[in-house]
Amino acid sequence: MAKVHPNTEEYCIAGVEVAGDRKDMSRVLTVWRKSLLFSCSGFTVFDDEGNLVFRVDNYGSGRAGEVVLMDAAGKPLLTVRRKKLSLGEDWKIYNGEDAADPVYSVKKQYAKTALAHVTACRQRCSSAAFGYEVEGSYARRSCTVFDGRRRPVAEVRRKETVGGVGFGDDVYRLVLRPAADACLAMAVVVVLDQMFG
């Protein structure tokens, strides 16, 4: 069996400089909507070289409305929790397994094109209006995350077919622009799956 060498650090920093001739290229992750563990649901995420980058394992005994995004070694990176007693779909994203202060809030939008709005819960940058808008269709695996200036930072796309055989809805691509934070983008994908999956 091939050995997995986790290298999550390069994916979890917003605005990371990609080395050498790849600095203007997008990064592509393959998202498999399946856990590597038997009898669990979740996600397994690989980079373009086949290395395991992220995983989500939802155990049957886990709390409803809580999902933990981990690196390849199982270290918790972000925890996604549904806000209880809210009038709509409202999810909070926390660092690691911390439950004290949310870092981001994701709210379901009920517009024709907008799926969700992501806002920072703390001042993380110089811009006062720091947030993202998710548009498209998660059910069709065709949606885009736009930053506050309407620039696309991440996209969910269908995986291309190989030899005429399709992958279905359980395998798709997460395309990240060079300055995108892959941890946040994957956490948004997890929330979209909870909202629309």
Q: What is the pLDDT of residues 59-104, one digit of tens each?
A: 554 445 788 898 988 899 999 988 876 666 789 999 988 778 899 9
Task: Supply the pLDDT for residue 145.
Answer: 95
Question: CA-to-CA distance for 196 and 49, rounded, in angstroms?
Answer: 29
pLDDT at 126: 39
Res 128: pLDDT: 45
- Let me know: does 176 contact 157? Beta carbons within 8 Å: no
User: Which parts of the chain have pLDDT scores under 70?
Assistant: 1-24, 35-40, 59-64, 85-88, 123-130, 164-166
Q: What is the pTM of this model?
A: 0.80
d(CA 113, CA 6): 36
**How high is the pLDDT of residue 6?**
45
The full set of domains in the chain, from first to last, is 25-196 (2.40.160.200)
| 41 phi and psi angles, rounded to 5 deg | -105, 165
**pLDDT for the residue 19:** 39
For residue 140, the Cα-to-chain-centroid distance in whole angstroms is 16
Look at residue 35 in the predicted model and tell me its pLDDT: 66
